[in-house]
Structure 1
Amino acid sequence: MYQDPKRVRSHKCTVYLDEYEAAIIQAHANYAGVSRAEMMRQLMLQQAREAFGVDPTSLSSNVPVSAG
């Protein structure tokens, strides 16, 4: 069913927010037209990429590996 079974989102992470934090996430999600979960996933992964210095354009599963 999935090309890569590791891409199935089956790991859950619970985050507790206060009313103000939840309102910010909801407003951002509404503005972007996505769900709160998708918005939080995008923000979390963006922060992780910045923290680890990963360039998102270099993350492609179609990059050929050279035999060298």
Structure 2
Amino acid sequence: MKEIPIRDEYIKLDQFLKFVNVVSSGIEAKIVIKDGQVKVNGEVELRRGKKLHNQDEVEVNGEHYIINAYQ
């Protein structure tokens, strides 16, 4: 599992996917999310604006990430 530090309280799911280079654009993020390829905390997430907070876990393309928000 890769720990991903963020500076803010949260990051939106589509922004996160671009941040970790899973996708290269917002359109690509929208497609990946709407196709049900992304899990947040073990459940498929279909909302690209889902806010990810400290210790949330994201799974996509066989990779696992955990959010580490600066406190």
Q: Do they superpose with TM above 0.5?
A: no
| Higher RCO (Cα < 8 Å, 6 or more apart) | 2
Greater strand content = 2
**Higher Rg:** 1
Greater helix content = 1
